[in-house]
Amino acid sequence: MTPVIVITLVLVWQCVLTGYAYTLAGNAADEGVRAGTAAPRGARFGACEQAALHDLSGAWRGGASVTQCGGTGYVTADVSLKVPVLFPGSIDFPVTVHGHAGAVEEVKD
């Protein structure tokens, strides 16, 4: 019975990590788009990417990528994270989760 319990716990933990990766990707996209809307158009991608990756710990940041930060009038950010196997910073599954966010550009007078 013990192996069944251990395998069940491992599978539940892996599901928790997958869900947490979705949460982190969505939050990173939100932070990136928030910074991107306030940045000047020429510096938008850099500000967006930096803000998106800022709150991720080193183990999660290693498999993260920001593919789009920009737009005119409506700013969007797309963040991708790799799903780790059992522990962040170890081996990654060949599965990537995506977070997407968008916001209307701030008007500066």
What's the pLDDT score for residue 107?
A: 63
Domain positions in the chain: 2-104
Mean pLDDT in consecutive groups of 10 residues from the start of the chain, 109 residues? 91 89 90 82 76 81 78 81 80 83 73
Amino acid at 57: S
Helix, strand, or coil (residue 9): helix
- The rounded Cα 14 to chain-centroid distance in angstroms is 18
pTM of the prediction? 0.79
